[in-house]
């Protein structure tokens, strides 16, 4: 509902933030880490949308990427391994008015947190989720993660990993109530910003997988894609990405894809080379759990008392009442 | 009697309304109804869109549904296709008919009540399964609510129900907002209490722990500990006062009843039966509205901790009713005025037009009962009363409001528009014709109401001032049949004297509608079949004749009597004049809707003439040219427009390669270059790198930065200082990046 009068007054005194207002200290990530690019894009989004820092929350699990909330000067919750989603959902349930972001890594989300991930998609609560996917456990110095490619030599797979990598996009697109799925790469900042912005404006569970470089442990992994723009497939559409002419000149490999077409989205999501970049699926009609359950209901002292009494009454035996029920 | 004599009698009747001779019978001797209504004798036996169910609160899909629709849903759910479901379908449809009959006979109640009553009537002692089937089907009913027929009370009940439905939605939103504000304000006060001296006393701490565990703690020690350690920030007195005031105002509001918490405090009534009372109530409650809006604004600011006393105190001190915006008023319930039948012109409603033009959030329902009132100057002509029947057209001229005109038979089909009108900001007028009064017509009200709409006597239209930028989006005639034509026409079949099928298309005119009302009997005369002449002509065609020709013809309408025998009924000149006037008013409405728009037609004609002249000139020129010399292919090729220039993609403007530069837009903000020289490289507003000062470092640093850059976007160019050591090697390394 509109709050016209107060909105007008607030507009009069609205604070405008610049990028520095969202910077919470110097990141401790390695030099050249792709997380820096994601951080810059998100801080830019916060500035451009003029998000009130006190009404914005970043929730993360454990891992390199999960240090994200430390570097945002907003509210943050550096959670426990794999449990970023339940925490973020709790925040959203209690305070639907907050802007909730989730930063999670490929290990955090797709391994230990996989169950929460699947159900968070199904609940479709309004939050922006960024999966920082560098294909490796970096914080613990190089172990294979669920998205590591076959053959990756790491501390846990010294002879090369033997399992096919899990594809977070196809998994997400396979869950009921999925409403927004996109993919970005950290080395094309303009598109990453556009995608993060699209995700933020979607009302529902916006899932972005960002493929990111780990210069420390997998320094050469994305070299071919970095140096050959033809190996990146831009998904364009009036309702999706519309790259600038300059960028379009460099990245000529483009395809029009309607984000409402889930079958096509699943097909595109399965390709690994070229890497598809853009909005794969976007359906604004999927209902949000917090709307279905009326989150953020009144919690005045009176309301709590009345609610509790109503609950207790259910377990109280009233012979007259029962008699009446029967008569009815 | 010869043909001339027959025509003479008929002409005399047409011109004077006097029946002379034996050949013309009055219509009141045998009740007649328009031929197109022949098929609708007993509405209770017909499945149509009435009766309606006024759906109870909480219905998700609208506020009204037709009984037919609900029964269809039951059948779709329960009865399988084909023979298998036939028995169930038959029983349920019988029950539906019974319910219609009961309603028509005056039984009132909800769908479920009437369903049960009808099922009891139909129950067969010999076959218990019938009762079981009907009870089972009753349980499948998707929705419940009061069942209403298309009678004289329908407009008021339907509109009031739509209004309640919209207000309930509004109330839900309103409470969602103010409950959240109350909760947040209470939280602030609670936190302040926990931080205060009183909140840290042992008693207060004891009270905050559940009974079972209260003995496990030493609250005195806890209190000492807490007092030492918690911050001593107190809620400033003015802020506390503001919060408490806002809370008390929010709690005491009497505008919307809470949908969640039952409250004893009564809320204001917004349903009135006259305009004056509604306006008085609005005025009386205005100070409360101002106070509540103010409290909501202050509460909102306080919950954001955004109340700045220096700025906001003066603002709120001078806050009064002039500060209220339309958006603020939209939070509050709208006033519904249902003017009772016959009170349209009463003194308490004299200010209707004033009220509508003032922009008050009032929804007025006016019920029209008679479309055949005489004009106030007593000329014996129908007035198409400015007083009532044309009220909506007049109101449309006021501009900033919503106006809807409909006959009650169309209300159900227009329910979305009714809901839209009830939900609009500002005033709305609903002018409804509820069918001819019982003393005037033997036909059911549903039919006379429908006839009024079909005959263009009371067309359905919607004008929504907020509907768009122009007339085309604001005004709509979509709920009339064939809005492009003068009269709607339908195929009509009957058997002639030799029992052969005759099929013709019959238009439904104002004269047909007038025939439904027995007070107009004097304007009609029945002609027996043997006296039919070639000079007789259907009224719709007669109207389209030029005046000279129409003088030689006599208009008639087709009608049937109670024995379903078809007659031609002559119409007198006065009635035809009224019919013509009705058509004129309809044309005016059509123009509003862009149908036969005279401005557009004039413009089109002008453009067409200009275009034709241009074409002729061009044709003439070609003709002359071809006469002078035969066209050669080369000349044709020359004349062809030059091939579209291939728009070569503009090359990206790159700085000359001698100068170092960075593709800033591609920078992934990874800090590498700044670690080499933070003076030379810096971030822009988007945290992407650029060369801030090329002289702040060496060429070596530029080359190293280019080499370490993860995405290879640094181009070192040529060295500026020719004396820098190791330049040759550096330039070689730089080549890969330039």
Of the candidates B192, B172, B167, B315, the residue with the CA atom closest to the CA atom of residue B247: B192
8 Å CB contact between B166 and B256: no
Instruction: Give B639 or A14, the one with higher predicted confidence.
Output: A14
B304 neighbourhood in chain A, CB within 8 Å: 10
Q: Domain A17-288, what fold?
A: Rossmann fold (3.40.50)
Q: Nearest chain B Cα to A303, which residue?
A: B261
8 Å CB contact between B680 and B691: yes
What is the length of chain A? 328
Distance between B316 CA and the closest CA of chain A, angstroms:
10
Model pTM score: 0.66
Q: Which residues of A touch B (CB under 8 A)?
A: 1-6, 8-10, 12-13, 18-19, 31-34, 36-37, 39-40, 43-44, 186-190, 213, 215, 226-227, 246-247, 249, 296-303, 306
Instruction: Give B63 or B397, the one with higher predicted confidence.
Output: B63
Task: Kindly report, residue by residue over B244-270, the tens digit of the pLDDT.
Answer: 999 999 988 889 887 766 666 788 999
The mean per-residue pLDDT over the stretch B81-95 comes to 84
pLDDT of residue B588: 87
Contact at CB, B671 and A4, closer than 8 angstroms = no
A34 neighbourhood in chain B, CB within 8 Å: 668, 670
Query: Which two tokens mark B49?
Result: 């869109």
Cα–Cα distance between B154 and B176 in angstroms, integer?
33
Contact at CB, B325 and A39, closer than 8 angstroms = no
User: Choosing among B260, B319, B322, B668, which should be mutated to test the A contact, i.e. which has the most A CBs within 10 A?
Assistant: B668
pLDDT of residue A11: 60
Distances in Å between the Cα of B62 and the Cα atoms of A162, B157, B368, B424, B718 are 58, 15, 26, 16, 74
Contact at CB, A9 and B315, closer than 8 angstroms = yes
Contact at CB, A247 and B665, closer than 8 angstroms = yes
pLDDT band, very low/low/confident/very high, at B379 (cuts 50, 70, 90): low
B180 neighbourhood in chain A, CB within 8 Å: 296, 298
pLDDT at B1 over 90: no
A227 neighbourhood in chain B, CB within 8 Å: 712
Cα–Cα distance between A225 and B136 in angstroms, integer?
66
Tally A–B CB contacts below 8 A: 123
Distance between B183 CA and the closest CA of chain A, angstroms:
5
Q: Point out the least confidently predicted range of B19-33, B401-415, B479-493, B595-609.
A: B19-33
pLDDT of residue B644: 40
Cα–Cα distance between A260 and A284 in angstroms, integer?
9
Instruction: Give A319 or B324, the one with higher predicted confidence.
Output: B324
Of the candidates A196, A175, A205, A208, the residue with the CA atom closest to the CA atom of residue A289: A205
Distance between A19 CA and the closest CA of chain B, angstroms:
7
Task: Kindly report, residue by residue over A102-128, the tens digit of the pLDDT.
Answer: 999 999 999 999 999 999 999 999 999
Task: Kindly report, residue by residue over A62-90, the tens digit of the pLDDT.
Answer: 999 999 999 999 999 999 999 999 999 99
User: Choosing among B664, B670, B684, which should be mutated to test the A contact, i.e. which has the most A CBs within 10 A?
Assistant: B670
Contact at CB, B327 and A4, closer than 8 angstroms = yes
Instruction: Give B317 or A43, the one with higher predicted confidence.
Output: A43
pLDDT of residue B634: 47
Distance between A153 CA and the closest CA of chain B, angstroms:
22
Q: Using the 8-state DSSP alphabet, how is residue B208 labeled?
A: T
Contact at CB, A10 and B306, closer than 8 angstroms = yes
pLDDT of residue B350: 76
Distances in Å between the Cα of A201 and the Cα atoms of A46, B347, B450 are 12, 55, 48
Of the candidates B564, B420, B440, B538, the residue with the CA atom closest to the CA atom of residue B486: B538
Helix, strand, or coil (residue B332): coil
Distance between A68 CA and the closest CA of chain B, angstroms:
15
Query: Which two tokens mark B29?
Result: 């001797």
Cross-chain CB nearest to B174 (options A1, A298, A301): A1
Helices (H), chain A: 4-12, 35-48, 84-94, 106-107, 114-123, 168-173, 189-201, 223-227, 245-250, 262-269, 289-292, 301-314, 319-327
A102-106, B508-512, B673-677 — which one is most confidently predicted on average?
A102-106
A50-54, A197-201, A272-276, B65-69 — which one is most confidently predicted on average?
A197-201
How many C-beta atoms surround the C-beta of residue B471 within 10 A? 14
pLDDT at B380 over 70: no
pLDDT of residue A232: 94
Query: Which two tokens mark B106?
Result: 């005056």
pLDDT of residue B636: 45
pLDDT of residue A1: 41
Cross-chain CB nearest to B180 (options A12, A32, A296): A296
Per-chain mean pLDDT for chain B: 84
Task: Kindly report, residue by residue over B442-454, the tens digit of the pLDDT.
Answer: 888 899 999 999 9
Cα–Cα distance between B134 and B92 in angstroms, integer?
7
- For a pLDDT cut of 70, what percent of chain B falls above it? 90
SS (H, E, C) B413-426: CCHHHHHHHHHCCC
pLDDT at A37 over 70: yes
Distance of CA B470 to the CA centre of its chain: 17
8 Å CB contact between A197 and A48: yes
Task: Kindly report, residue by residue over B134-162, the tens digit of the pLDDT.
Answer: 888 888 887 889 999 888 889 999 999 99
Contact at CB, A19 and B686, closer than 8 angstroms = yes
A43 neighbourhood in chain B, CB within 8 Å: 687
What residue ranges define each of the domains in chain B, with the CATH number in brackets? Answer: 1-40+375-403+443-618 (no CATH), 51-149 (no CATH), 197-233 (no CATH), 661-735 (3.30.70.20)
pLDDT of residue A154: 96
Distance of CA B433 to the CA centre of its chain: 20
pLDDT of residue A208: 98
Helix, strand, or coil (residue B441): coil
pLDDT of residue B702: 92
Cross-chain CB nearest to B668 (options A6, A187, A297): A187
8 Å CB contact between B469 and B484: no
Task: Kindly report, residue by residue over B273-299, the tens digit of the pLDDT.
Answer: 888 899 999 999 999 999 999 999 999
pLDDT at A233 over 90: yes
Cross-chain CB nearest to B675 (options A31, A40, A306): A31
Find residue A182's DSSP bridge partners: A208, A279
pLDDT at B386 over 60: no
pLDDT at B348 over 60: yes
Instruction: Give B318 or B210, the one with higher predicted confidence.
Output: B318
pLDDT of residue B270: 92
Cross-chain CB nearest to B325 (options A5, A33, A187): A5
């Amino acid at each position: 509902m509109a709050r016209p009068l107060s909105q007008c007054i607030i507009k009069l005194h609205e604070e405008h933030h610049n990028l520095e207002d969202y910077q919470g200290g110097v990141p401790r990530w390695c030099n050249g880490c792709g997380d820096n690019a994601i951080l810059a894009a998100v801080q830019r989004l916060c500035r451009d949308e003029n998000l009130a820092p006190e009404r914005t929350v970043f929730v993360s699990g454990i891992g390199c990427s999960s240090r994200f909330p430390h570097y945002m000067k907003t509210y943050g919750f550096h959670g426990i391994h794999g449990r970023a989603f339940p925490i973020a959902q709790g925040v959203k349930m209690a305070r639907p008015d907050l802007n909730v972001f989730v930063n999670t890594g490929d290990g955090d989300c797709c391994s230990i947190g996989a169950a929460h991930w699947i159900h968070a998609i199904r609940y479709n609560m309004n939050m922006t989720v960024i999966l920082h996917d560098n294909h490796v456990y970096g914080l613990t110095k190089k172990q294979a993660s669920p998205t590591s490619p076959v053959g990756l030599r790491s501390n846990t797979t010294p002879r090369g990993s033997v399992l096919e990598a899990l594809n977070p996009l196809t998994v997400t697109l396979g869950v009921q109530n999925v409403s927004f799925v996109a993919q970005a790469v950290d080395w094309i900042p303009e598109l990453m910003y556009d995608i993060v912005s699209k995700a933020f404006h979607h009302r529902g569970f916006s899932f972005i997988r960002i493929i990111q470089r780990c210069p420390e442990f997998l320094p050469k992994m994305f070299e071919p894609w970095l140096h050959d723009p033809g190996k990146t497939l831009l998904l364009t559409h009036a309702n999706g990405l519309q790259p600038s002419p300059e960028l379009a000149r460099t990245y000529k490999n483009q395809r029009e894809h309607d984000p409402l077409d889930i079958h096509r989205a699943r097909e595109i999501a399965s390709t690994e080379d070229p890497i598809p970049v853009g909005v794969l699926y976007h359906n604004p009609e999927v209902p949000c759990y917090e709307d279905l359950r009326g989150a953020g209901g009144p919690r005045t002292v009176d309301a709590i008392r009345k609610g509790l009494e109503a609950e207790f009454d259910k377990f109280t035996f009233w012979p007259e009442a029962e008699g009446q029920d029967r008569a009815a | 009697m010869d043909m001339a004599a027959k025509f003479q009698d008929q002409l005399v009747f047409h011109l004077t309304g006097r029946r002379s001779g034996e050949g013309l019978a009055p219509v009141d001797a045998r009740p007649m109804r328009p031929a197109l209504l022949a098929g609708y004798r007993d509405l209770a036996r017909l499945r149509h869109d009435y009766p309606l169910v006024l759906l109870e609160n909480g219905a998700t899909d609208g506020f009204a549904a037709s009984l037919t629709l609900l029964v269809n849903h039951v059948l779709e759910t329960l009865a399988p296709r084909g023979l298998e479901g036939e028995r169930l379908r038959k029983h349920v449809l019988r029950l539906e008919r019974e319910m219609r009959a009961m309603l028509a006979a005056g039984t009132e109640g909800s769908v479920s009540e009437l369903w049960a009553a009808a099922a009891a009537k139909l129950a067969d002692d010999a076959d218990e399964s019938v009762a079981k089937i009907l009870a089972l089907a009753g349980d499948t009913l998707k929705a419940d609510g009061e069942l209403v027929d298309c009678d004289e009370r329908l407009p008021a009940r339907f509109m009031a129900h739509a209004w309640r439905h919209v207000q309930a939605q509004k109330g839900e939103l309103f409470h969602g907002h103010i409950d959240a504000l109350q909760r947040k304000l209470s939280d602030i006060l609670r936190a302040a209490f926990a931080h205060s001296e009183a909140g840290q006393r042992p008693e207060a701490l004891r009270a905050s722990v559940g009974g079972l565990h209260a003995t496990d703690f030493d609250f005195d020690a806890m209190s000492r500990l807490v007092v030492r350690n918690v911050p001593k920030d107190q809620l400033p007195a003015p802020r506390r006062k503001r919060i408490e005031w806002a809370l008390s105002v929010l709690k005491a509001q009497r505008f919307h009843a809470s949908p969640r918490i039952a409250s004893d405090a009564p809320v204001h009534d917004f349903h009135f039966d006259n305009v004056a009372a509604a306006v008085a109530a609005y005025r009386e409650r205005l100070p409360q509205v101002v106070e509540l809006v103010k409290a909501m604004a202050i509460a909102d600011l306080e919950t954001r901790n955004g109340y700045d006393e220096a700025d906001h105190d003066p603002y709120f001190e001078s806050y009064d009713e002039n500060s209220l915006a339309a958006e603020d008023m939209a939070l509050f319930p709208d006033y519904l005025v249902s003017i009772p039948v016959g009170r349209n012109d009463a003194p308490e409603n004299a200010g209707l037009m004033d009220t509508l033009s003032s922009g008050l959030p009032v929804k007025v329902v006016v019920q029209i009962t008679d479309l055949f009132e005489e004009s106030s100057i007593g000329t014996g002509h129908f007035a198409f009363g400015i007083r009532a029947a044309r009220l909506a057209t007049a109101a449309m001229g006021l501009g900033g409001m919503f106006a809807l005109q409909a006959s009650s038979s169309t209300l159900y089909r227009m329910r979305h528009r009714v809901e839209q009108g009830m939900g609009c900001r500002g005033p709305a007028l609903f002018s409804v014709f509820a069918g001819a009064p019982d003393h005037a017509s033997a036909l059911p009200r549903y039919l006379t109401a429908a006839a009024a709409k079909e005959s263009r006597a009371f067309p359905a239209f919607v004008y929504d001032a907020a509907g768009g930028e122009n007339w085309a989006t604001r005004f709509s005639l979509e709920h009339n049949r064939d809005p492009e034509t003068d009269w709607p026409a339908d195929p009509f079949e009957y058997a002639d004297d030799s029992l052969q099928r005759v099929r013709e298309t019959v238009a439904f005119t104002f004269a047909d509608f007038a025939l439904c009302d027995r007070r107009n009997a004097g304007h009609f005369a029945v002609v027996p079949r043997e006296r039919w002449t070639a000079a007789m002509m259907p009224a719709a065609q007669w109207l389209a004749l030029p005046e000279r020709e129409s003088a030689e013809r006599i208009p008639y309408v087709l009608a049937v009597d109670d024995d379903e025998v078809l007659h031609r009924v002559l119409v007198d000149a006065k009635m035809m004049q009224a019919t013509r006037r009705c058509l004129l008013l309809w044309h005016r409405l059509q123009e509003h809707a862009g149908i036969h728009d005279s401005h557009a037609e004039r413009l089109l004609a002008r453009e067409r003439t200009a275009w034709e002249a241009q074409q002729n000139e061009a044709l003439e020129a070609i003709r002359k040219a071809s006469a002078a010399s035969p066209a050669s292919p080369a000349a044709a090729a020359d004349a062809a427009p030059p091939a579209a220039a291939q728009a070569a993609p503009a090359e990206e403007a790159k700085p000359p390669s001698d100068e170092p530069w960075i593709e800033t837009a591609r920078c992934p903000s990874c800090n590498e270059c700044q670690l080499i020289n933070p003076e030379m490289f810096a971030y822009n507003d988007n945290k992407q790198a650029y060369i801030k000062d090329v002289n702040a470092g060496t060429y070596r640093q530029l080359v190293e930065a280019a080499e370490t850059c993860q995405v290879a976007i640094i181009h070192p160019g040529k060295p500026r200082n020719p004396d820098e050591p190791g330049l040759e090697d550096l330039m070689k390394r730089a080549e890969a990046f330039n």
